[in-house]
Amino acid sequence: MVNTTVLSSRSMPISFTLPHLNEKLRIEQGINDVSMLLSSDKSVSTVVADTLGWDTVYAIRVPDINNAIVAKKASPKTFTQTTTDPDLGIEVSIDGEFGDWAISRGGDGQNLHMKIPITKGTYTTPNKTYSLNNCNAVINIKLAYFPNQIPQSVSEVGSKHDLKLKTDHTDEEPIVFLVSFLFPHGADKPASDALLQGAFRDWFNANIKKFEHIFSTVNINLHTEDIKWLKPTYTSYAYSDNPDPDESFFAVLCMTDGRSGKGLTHALSPSAIAPDSRASFLISRSLFLEKSMLPGVPTVFVDSSVDNFQLINGKTEISNKDGVILKIKPIKYGAIYYTPYAESFNISVNEHEIITKIKARIVFSPGIEAVVSTTTYQTIELVNKPDGTQTIGFKASRPTESMHTIETATWVIVTTVIVGLIATVYASLVGYVVGDLTIKLIVCTIAIFVGVLITLLLSVVLQTIAKGVAESMPSINPVIQAATGPIVWPTAKTEFKLTSAQLNGALQFGGDPGFAL
Q: Is residue 230 part of a domain?
A: no
Asked if 133 and 70 sit in the same domain, the reply is yes
Q: pLDDT tens, 357-368? A: 999 888 877 888
The stretches of 72-213 forming alpha helices (DSSP H) are 194-207
Asked if 101 and 205 sit in the same domain, the reply is yes
Q: Is residue 194 part of a domain?
A: yes
Mean pLDDT of the chain: 83
Mean pLDDT confidence for 323-349: 88
Identify the residue with better confidence: 378 or 133: 133
Asked if 183 and 322 sit in the same domain, the reply is no
Q: pLDDT tens, 103-129? A: 999 989 999 999 999 999 999 999 899
Asked if 179 and 80 sit in the same domain, the reply is yes
Residue 14 pLDDT exceeds 80: no
The residue from 216, 242, 271 where one domain ends is 216
Identify the residue with better confidence: 343 or 19: 343
- pLDDT interval class at 34 (50, 70, 90): very low
The residue from 197, 216, 235 where one domain ends is 216
Asked if 132 and 16 sit in the same domain, the reply is no
Q: pLDDT tens, 176-202? A: 999 999 999 888 888 888 999 999 999
Contact call for residues 97 and 77 (beta carbons, < 8 A): yes
Give pTM, 2 decimals.
0.86
What whole-number distance in Å separates Cα of residue 207 and Cα of residue 101? 14
What whole-number distance in Å separates Cα of residue 433 and Cα of residue 255? 35
Mean pLDDT confidence for 416-430: 71
Asked if 190 and 322 sit in the same domain, the reply is no
- pLDDT interval class at 4 (50, 70, 90): low
Number of domains in the chain: 2
What whole-number distance in Å separates Cα of residue 380 and Cα of residue 385? 15
Q: Distance of alpha carbon 361 from its chain centroid, rounded?
A: 36
Q: Is the peptide bond before 147 cis (omega within 30 degrees of 0)?
A: yes
Residue 270 pLDDT exceeds 60: yes
Domain that holds residue 404: 5-46+305-442
- pLDDT interval class at 452 (50, 70, 90): low
- pLDDT interval class at 32 (50, 70, 90): very low
Asked if 71 and 204 sit in the same domain, the reply is yes
Q: pLDDT tens, 382-394? A: 888 888 888 888 8
- pLDDT interval class at 466 (50, 70, 90): very low
Q: Of 115, 101, 121, nearest to 196 (Cα)?
A: 121
DSSP string for 416-473 = HHHHHHHHHHHHHHHHHIIIIIHHHHHHHHHHHHTT--GGGHHHHHHHHHHH-HHHHS
Q: pLDDT tens, 55-107? A: 999 999 999 999 999 999 999 999 999 999 887 888 999 999 999 999 999 98
Q: Is residue 269 part of a domain?
A: no
The pLDDT of residue 101 is: 97
